[in-house]
């Protein structure tokens, strides 16, 4: 397991610094914390949903490659500095968010923001998709080209001819549930039609059929989105919180 040890060295002047050591273990292990961390990382940065099995595989493979690198190379000063900057940035953001999370935002403040920004809280359009899964992207493309003008029952009846290994009947989902590249293809006009094939890897691809499209009407109820509004307000005030914290630490240094 590749371990990164982060220790805080408290200096008499109340200045803080981070020392990072990167070492290689003989045995590669993957913990639940590791899987949860990589899942959150992919979700936050790329809006990518990964399975528990996929998270385990990704962490283990990355560690294998990292260990291989350490077998062949010594980390340069630049490498250490780069890792240190990432760690410092993460911890700096985390301390601001931790303090923000304790901020008392009254219901009156949340409601005021909701009333002034109702257009931001409209109910979301939903779709009911049927997803055809393929092990070969070429089969997915062939299926799309020949089935794009056919109805759903015909597609299902002929699916085996195109090596469809699974037909997934999905319940209604809001448009924002899907990844950006899929959202960009969805529109009311796509109801009863296939979307372009999505190639996920050299061994997995799918084609989505929009069985139904529900146009949303009205706004989300305030009681259902209080936490969402709180997150928005905290995000907006993040830089102000950060500046105040820095000012406090500078006063301590003096």
Note the pLDDT of residue 48: 78
CB of 134 within 8 A of CB of 143?
Answer: yes
Note the pLDDT of residue 1: 40
Q: Shortest CA distance to 185 belongs to which of 25, 166, 193, 156?
A: 193
Domains and CATH numbers, the chain: 3-92 (no CATH), 103-122+218-254 (no CATH), 124-214 (3.10.50.40)
- Dihedrals φ, ψ of 121, to 5°? -120, 35
Could you give the CA distance from residue 84 to residue 36 in angstroms, rounded to a whole number? 22
- Dihedrals φ, ψ of 36, to 5°? -65, -40
Note the pLDDT of residue 10: 30
CB atoms inside a 10 Å sphere around CB 2? 17
Note the pLDDT of residue 13: 34
Note the pLDDT of residue 75: 86
- Per DSSP, the residues of 142-202 read HHHHHHTTS-HHHHHHHGGGGTEEEEEEPPPEEGGGS-HHHHTT--GGGTTSBPPPEE-SS
Note the pLDDT of residue 14: 38
Q: For every one of its 254 residues, what pLDDT tens digit does the chain have, with 9 covering 90 and above? A: 444 333 333 333 334 457 777 887 778 889 999 999 999 988 888 777 889 999 999 999 999 998 888 888 888 889 888 888 888 888 888 888 888 877 778 899 999 999 999 988 999 999 999 999 999 999 999 999 999 999 999 999 999 999 999 999 999 999 999 988 999 999 999 999 999 999 988 788 999 999 999 999 999 999 999 989 988 988 888 888 888 888 887 776 66
| Residues of the chain above pLDDT 70, percent | 91
CA angle 151, 152, 154 (to 5 degrees): 70
- Rg of the chain over CA atoms, in angstroms? 25
Query: Two tokens at 21?
Result: 């050591």
Strands (E), the chain: 3-10, 16-23, 126-134, 164-169, 173-174, 198-199, 205-214
Q: What is the reported pTM?
A: 0.53
Task: Give the model confidence (pLDDT) of 109-167 as tens digits.
Answer: 999 999 999 988 999 999 999 999 999 999 999 999 999 999 999 999 999 999 999 99
Tell me the CA distances in angstroms from 128 to 22, 180, 213, one per residue in order. Answer: 48, 17, 7
């Amino acid at each position: 397991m590749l371990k990164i040890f982060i220790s805080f060295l408290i200096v008499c002047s109340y200045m803080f610094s981070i020392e990072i050591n990167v070492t290689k273990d003989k045995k590669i292990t993957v913990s639940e914390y590791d899987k949860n961390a990589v899942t959150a990382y992919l979700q936050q940065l790329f809006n990518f949903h990964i399975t528990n099995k996929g998270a385990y595989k990704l962490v283990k493979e990355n560690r294998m490659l990292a260990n291989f690198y350490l077998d062949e190379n010594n980390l340069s000063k630049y490498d250490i500095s780069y890792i240190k900057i990432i760690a410092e940035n993460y911890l700096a953001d985390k301390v601001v968010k931790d303090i923000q999370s304790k901020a008392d935002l009254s219901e009156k403040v949340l409601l005021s923001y909701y009333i002034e920004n109702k257009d931001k809280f409209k109910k979301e359009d939903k779709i009911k998709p049927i997803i055809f899964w393929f092990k070969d992207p070429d089969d997915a493309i062939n299926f799309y080209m020949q089935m794009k003008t056919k109805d759903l029952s015909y597609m299902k009846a002929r699916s085996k001819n195109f090596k469809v290994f699974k037909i997934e009947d999905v319940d209604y989902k809001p448009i924002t549930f899907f990844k950006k590249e899929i959202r960009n293809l969805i529109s009311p006009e796509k109801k009863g039609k296939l979307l372009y094939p999505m190639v996920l890897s050299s061994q997995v691809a799918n084609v989505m059929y929009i069985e139904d499209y529900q146009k949303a009407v009205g706004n989300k109820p305030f009681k259902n989105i209080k936490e969402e509004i709180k997150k928005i307000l905290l995000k907006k005030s993040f830089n102000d919180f950060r500046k105040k914290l820095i000012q406090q630490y500078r006063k301590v240094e003096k």
